[in-house]
């Protein structure tokens, strides 16, 4: 017979998923109700309000898609783009690259604006692309590029996009609940996120939001949305007043998201961001005190995902394996252009706690010493504590 499920105890400090708060796990263990049960309808309504709160938006069309962050990405592109539409996409990491693939599958003409992995897309690059190509329908960027650790400023690009009457699309999968996204302030027209990064719920849902301008563009479509499952014109009737059956919402995941968002509301949105900044900076100070160098320039460095360069001659996979096996700590390796070059350390949501930073820094210093890299665990932890407590 198969044994009872007994997953190992881990500290999730990779690029996601992050550790899940016990209250979220408890919410998921609650009994099911039907997805059209009046009590579930109330849960859906409350969840929509809470999603608006974290996105900082009044957008009516705000709901959670059934699927992970990539389903949110696909939702935005399949609904906004029709075959032949032009879209400018900022590519400075894996997720920008994924957006181009999704947009091409919609039959759109993709105009790539690129920057090296770890850098940001400059507003001038977007400006030049908008001036070169007439009739661009949308411009998309990744707010928090999880594959590199870079934080993309939004406002200036948003202004340029709207000057050219295009829609502004933002990937906020790793930013939402970790740093300010500010949908209304930044005039973002379409945005998607995910549950398992800074919202600290398991993977499975993708909160999305669309501005009035985006809704008007959806209403003007002349062709059917290519995806039945992700077609917002039908989903709006499921999440809206009609409550028209579309698909069965994943009930337990919706319990989880509601509880995760309630935790953010309880802590306070600003306090949540402050916590990420504080402990993210502390981690970064600790890594630098160890003599390691961070991949992203300080001004564009995310707090919730830090990419640190692997020292010469260190077997990066062996270090990660040892961290996992001996200390139960999961961190991520590099992807794409950064494969074999960096480790990616996440401090997202419930994982973003000082005790995790301290444990990770001490464990990494010990493991690196064993691999022949000379460092001081003491100095690293002191630098971390100094950053937090002054």
Ligand X SMILES: *Cc1c(COP(=O)(O)O)cnc(C)c1O
What residues are designated binding site for substrate? 344
Using CB under 6 A, pick the residue from 81, 115, 142, 342 that binds ligand X.
Answer: 142
Closest CA relative to residue 40, chosen from 189, 239, 237, 178: 239
Neighbour order of strands in the sheet with 167-171: 61-66, 205-210, 190-192, 167-171, 136-142, 86-91, 109-114
Closest CA relative to residue 363, chosen from 294, 15, 355: 355
Using CB under 6 A, pick the residue from 203, 240, 250, 328 that binds ligand X.
Answer: 203
Q: How far is the CB of 84 from ligand X (least distance, A)?
A: 26
Touching ligand X, residues 23-82 (CB under 6 A): 68-70, 73
Q: Are 304 and 294 in contact (CB under 8 A)?
A: no
Residue 182: left (phi > 0), alpha (psi -120 to 50), or beta?
A: left
375: contact with ligand X by CB under 6 A: no
171: contact with ligand X by CB under 6 A: yes
174: contact with ligand X by CB under 6 A: yes
What character string, x for contact with ligand X (CB under 6 A) and - otherwise, covers 300-319?
--------------------
Q: Are 238 and 244 in contact (CB under 8 A)?
A: yes
How many positions of this chain bind ligand X (CB under 6 A)? 15
Q: How far is the CB of 74 from ligand X (least distance, A)?
A: 9
- Give the residue at shortest CB distance from ligand X: 69
Residue 102 or 365: the one with the smaller Cβ distance to ligand X is 102
Phi, psi dihedral angles at 128 (to 5 degrees): -60, -40
Residue 190 or 384: the one with the smaller Cβ distance to ligand X is 190
95: contact with ligand X by CB under 6 A: yes
| Token pair for 281 | 């900076």
Q: How far is the CB of 168 from ligand X (least distance, A)?
A: 16
Q: Is 300 exposed, middle or buried (0-12, 13-18, 19+ CB in 10 A)?
A: middle
Using CB under 6 A, pick the residue from 173, 188, 214, 357 that binds ligand X.
Answer: 173
179: contact with ligand X by CB under 6 A: no
- Helical axes 316-327 vs 354-370, angle rounded to 10°: 120
Q: Running DSSP on this structure, what letter comes out for residue 222?
A: S
**Binding residues for ligand X (CB under 6 A):** 16, 68-70, 73, 95, 142, 144, 146, 171, 173-174, 194, 197, 203
């Amino acid at each position: 017979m198969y044994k009872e499920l007994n997953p190992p105890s881990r500290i999730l400090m990779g690029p996601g998923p992050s550790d899940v708060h016990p209250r979220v796990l408890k919410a998921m263990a609650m009994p099911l109700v039907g997805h059209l049960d009046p009590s579930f309808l109330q849960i859906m309504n409350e969840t929509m309000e809470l999603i608006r709160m974290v996105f900082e938006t009044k957008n009516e069309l705000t709901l959670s898609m059934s699927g992970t962050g990539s389903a949110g990405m696909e939702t935005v592109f399949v609904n906004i783009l029709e075959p032949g539409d032009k879209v400018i996409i900022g590519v400075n990491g894996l997720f920008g690259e994924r957006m181009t693939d999704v947009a091409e599958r919609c039959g759109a003409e993709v105009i790539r604006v690129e920057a090296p992995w770890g850098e940001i897309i400059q507003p001038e690059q977007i400006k030049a692309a908008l001036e070169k190509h007439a009739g661009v329908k949308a411009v998309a960027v990744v707010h928090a590029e999880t594959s590199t650790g870079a934080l993309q400023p939004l406002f200036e690009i948003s202004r340029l996009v709207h000057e050219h009457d295009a829609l502004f699309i933002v990937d906020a999968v790793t930013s939402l609940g970790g740093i300010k996204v500010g949908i209304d302030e930044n005039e973002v027209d379409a945005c998607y996120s995910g549950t398992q990064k800074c919202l600290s719920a398991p993977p499975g849902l993708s909160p999305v939001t669309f501005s009035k301008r985006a809704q008007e563009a959806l209403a003007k479509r002349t062709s059917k949305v290519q995806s039945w499952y992700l077609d917002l014109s039908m989903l709006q009737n499921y999440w809206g007043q009609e409550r028209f059956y579309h698909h069965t919402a994943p009930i337990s995941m919706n319990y989880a998201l509601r509880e995760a968002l309630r935790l953010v509301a309880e802590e306070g949105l600003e306090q949540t961001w402050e916590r990420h900044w504080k402990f993210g900076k502390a981690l970064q100070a600790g890594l630098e005190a160890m003599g390691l160098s961070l991949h992203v320039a300080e001004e564009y460095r995310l707090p919730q995902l830090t990419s640190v360069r692997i020292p010469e001659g260190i077997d990066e996979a062996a270090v990660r394996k040892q961290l996992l096996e001996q200390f139960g700590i999961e961190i991520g390796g590099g992807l794409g252009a950064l494969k074999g070059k960096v480790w990616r350390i996440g401090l997202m949501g419930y994982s973003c706690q000082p005790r995790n930073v301290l444990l990770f820094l001490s464990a990494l210093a010990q493991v690196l010493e064993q691999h022949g890299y000379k460092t001081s665990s003491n100095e690293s932890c002191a630098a971390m504590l100094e950053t937090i407590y002054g």
